[in-house]
């Protein structure tokens, strides 16, 4: 009988290799992946993670990676892996262009702040951002507006092992950051199709939220996210996968 992680993998693989995104059955198939992924536990992937105090100190001093990646699978259909976000660390604001993502917490607690892009047509760049740009070399590039993505922010969610898998789509929650809460946290991440840095078709882009949060700011507020180079403070260690093997269905 297939292992729980193989069941998730084959369900996801079938959807993303055979069902056209946006077709009538797509959402039903995706729901099945979410139901199966929601049941996944750390034991199912033979995973446990602990950092000793020395490692934690090294992380704080910037000598150790804030995140660890365990590779399970990657081909042209999907990638699957486990991300660990170490204590007090985050995976900074980034996107998944034209991709779907399914994420299930298997250890600890993760806070997710996510955004959906909105059209910038007719929107005026806020004065404070214009001012900041004027005083930076960026203004020399004369492409201020094109360095920004306008987005609406979703309510922040805190996920534990008790919560179902969460989903991002090309249009909803596609830009997000993941923050560990009260210790290290780990989640299984399925991305389809995977990033493609070889052809440049789907490149991971990092962002900085330049909008000022005011006490009166509402959920409807448009956020101006500036595209930035990958932050130097963020990189990943890797760890070997010791769980059940995966096979293409
Ligand atoms: Fe992500």
- Say which CATH number the domain at 106 has: 2.60.120.10
Per-residue pLDDT averaged across 79-94, rounded?
97
Distance from the alpha carbon of residue 202 to the mean position of ligand 1, in angstroms: 13
Q: Is the CB of residue 175 less than 8 Å from the CB of residue 95?
A: yes
Distance from the alpha carbon of residue 191 to the mean position of ligand 1, in angstroms: 9
Confidence band for 147, pLDDT divided at 50, 70 and 90: confident
Q: Is the CB of residue 40 less than 8 Å from the CB of residue 210?
A: no
Query: For residue 226, is it within any domain?
Result: yes
Query: For residue 12, is it within any domain?
Result: no
Query: For residue 40, is it within any domain?
Result: no
Query: For residue 37, is it within any domain?
Result: no
CA 224, CA 87: separation in Å to the nearest integer? 29
CA 83, CA 186: separation in Å to the nearest integer? 6
Q: Is the CB of residue 47 less than 8 Å from the CB of residue 107?
A: yes
Distance from the alpha carbon of residue 200 to the mean position of ligand 1, in angstroms: 17
Q: What percent of the chain has a predicted confidence (pLDDT) above 70?
A: 92
Distance from the alpha carbon of residue 149 to the mean position of ligand 1, in angstroms: 17
Distance from the alpha carbon of residue 95 to the mean position of ligand 1, in angstroms: 6
Question: Chain-wide mean pLDDT for the chain?
Answer: 91
Distance from the alpha carbon of residue 217 to the mean position of ligand 1, in angstroms: 25
Distance from the alpha carbon of residue 118 to the mean position of ligand 1, in angstroms: 19
Query: For residue 96, is it within any domain?
Result: yes
Query: For residue 99, is it within any domain?
Result: yes
Distance from the alpha carbon of residue 19 to the mean position of ligand 1, in angstroms: 23
Query: For residue 41, is it within any domain?
Result: no
Asked whether residue 97 carries a pLDDT value surpassing 90, the answer given is yes
Distance from the alpha carbon of residue 128 to the mean position of ligand 1, in angstroms: 29
Report which of residues 217 and 154 the model is more confident about.
Answer: 154
What region, left, alpha or beta, does residue 97 occupy, with left being phi > 0 and alpha being psi -120 to 50 degrees? beta
Distance from the alpha carbon of residue 65 to the mean position of ligand 1, in angstroms: 17
Distance from the alpha carbon of residue 219 to the mean position of ligand 1, in angstroms: 22
**Into how many domains does the chain fold?**
1
Determine the structural domain holding residue 231 and report its residue range: 50-239
User: What pLDDT shows up at residue 131?
Assistant: 74
Per-residue pLDDT averaged across 210-235, rounded?
80
- Output the pTM of the full model: 0.91
Query: For residue 122, is it within any domain?
Result: yes
Distance from the alpha carbon of residue 75 to the mean position of ligand 1, in angstroms: 18
């Amino acid at each position: 009988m297939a292992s729980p992680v193989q069941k998730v993998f084959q369900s996801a693989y079938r959807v993303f290799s055979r069902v056209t995104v946006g077709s009538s059955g797509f959402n039903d198939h995706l729901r099945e992946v979410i139901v199966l992924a929601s049941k996944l536990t750390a034991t199912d992937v033979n995973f446990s993670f602990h950092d000793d105090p020395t490692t934690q100190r090294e992380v704080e001093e910037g000598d150790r990676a804030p995140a660890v990646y365990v590779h399970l699978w990657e081909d042209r259909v999907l990638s699957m892996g486990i991300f660990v976000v170490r204590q007090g660390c985050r995976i900074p604001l980034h996107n998944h262009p034209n991709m779907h993502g399914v994420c299930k917490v298997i250890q600890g607690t993760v806070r997710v702040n996510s955004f959906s892009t909105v059209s910038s047509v007719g929107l005026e760049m806020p004065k404070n951002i214009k001012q900041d740009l004027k005083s930076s070399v960026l203004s020399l590039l004369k492409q201020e507006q094109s360095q920004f993505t306008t987005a609406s922010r979703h309510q922040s969610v805190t996920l534990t092992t008790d919560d179902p898998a969460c989903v991002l789509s090309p249009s909803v929650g596609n830009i997000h950051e993941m923050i560990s809460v009260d210790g290290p946290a780990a989640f299984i991440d399925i991305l389809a199709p995977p990033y493609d840095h070889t052809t440049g078709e789907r490149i991971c882009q990092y962002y900085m939220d330049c909008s000022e949060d005011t006490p009166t700011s509402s959920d409807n507020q448009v956020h101006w996210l500036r595209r930035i180079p990958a932050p130097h403070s963020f990189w990943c260690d890797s760890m070997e996968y010791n769980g059940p093997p995966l096979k293409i269905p």
